[in-house]
Structure 1
Amino acid sequence: MRQALSKPSDTEKITINLGYVDLGHIDLLVSEGVYANRSDFIRTAIRNQAERHADLTRQSMARKSVELGLRHYRRSELESLFAAGETIDIRVLGLAVIEADVPADLARATIGSVEVLGSLQASPAVREALADRLR
């Protein structure tokens, strides 16, 4: 029997605690058809707040040299860095993916620090190898 390979999701599930009144407001808006469901309301609220603070976000990203969106770190890229004797500092706002075929020793040799505002996807071995470099 062949096992299906799981594809990384472009979303991450989070859990939040809300007061009953706030939850009631959301449910009312959903029942009135303003939003499709609770998740739709919460995603919209988050996007609105992010847009409200867009200038601050842009300034901070420029100051910290942060990449925005999805960034893949491939084995070939890290092998090139290793051959050149160079390292990188990973700074991503969004999703950073260290590909599954990247060996832990190569990641440790080529990645100086990791700061991800969002989500980092990496094998358990790579996460362990970089544990002291995660911010």
Structure 2
Amino acid sequence: MSGTELKPRIGDSEKITINLGVVDLGQIDLLVQEGFYANRTDLIRTAIRNQLGVHADVVKQTVSRKSLVLGLQTYTRLQLEKLQAANETLQIQVVGLATIASDVPPELAAAVIESVTVLGAFHATGAVKAALAGRIH
């Protein structure tokens, strides 16, 4: 695969960076040392999942109210060509992972995709992202 092609794998994770105070970090290290968690990442993931569980109803209501796709959504060349043939456009609105297939030419993406709003991760070739640059929110 060339550097511009996608390498999609279901279940991939995205890296984030957070800043913590030294006392919080020390407490995390203590819990790891005592065997409550395998490592710092394990504790942080667990804490995030717990908070997402607490707010699950709000997430569901918002996804429904804003007509968002929750989860993984892939847009193929064939789908976009059908939209173009029907003279229709697409507004991508995803909470999770939105992927535009690696064989989609930038001209097709620009002709069909009106806007891209992704809360999570957006995967597309560099050329497609460049073609959609002003439409990605």
Query: Smaller-chain TM-score range?
Result: over 0.9
Which has the higher relative contact order, 1 or 2, with Cα contacts under 8 A spaced 6 or more apart? 2
Unaligned runs of 5+ in 2: none
**In the alignment, what sits opposite 2:88?**
86
The 2-side partners of 1:80 and 1:6 are apart by: 22
- Shift of residue 14 of structure 1? 1.1
* TM-score for both structures, normalised by structure 2: 0.91
**In the alignment, what sits opposite 2:16?**
14
Is the partner of 1:86 in helix, strand or coil? coil
Equivalent pairs, count: 133
Taking only aligned residues, the RMSD between alpha carbons, in angstroms, comes to 1.7
**In the alignment, what sits opposite 1:52?**
54
| 4+ aligned runs moved over 6 Å, structure 1 | none
- Shift of residue 8 of structure 1? 2.9
Q: Percent same amino acid at aligned positions?
A: 59
Q: Deviations over 1:59-92 (max 9, x none)?
A: 1101111111111111111011111111111011
- Residue 120 of structure 1 aligns with an amino acid whose one-letter code is F
Unaligned runs of 5+ in 1: none
Is the partner of 2:36 in helix, strand or coil? coil
* TM-score for both structures, normalised by structure 1: 0.92
The 2-side partners of 1:61 and 1:6 are apart by: 27
The 2-side partners of 1:120 and 1:93 are apart by: 10
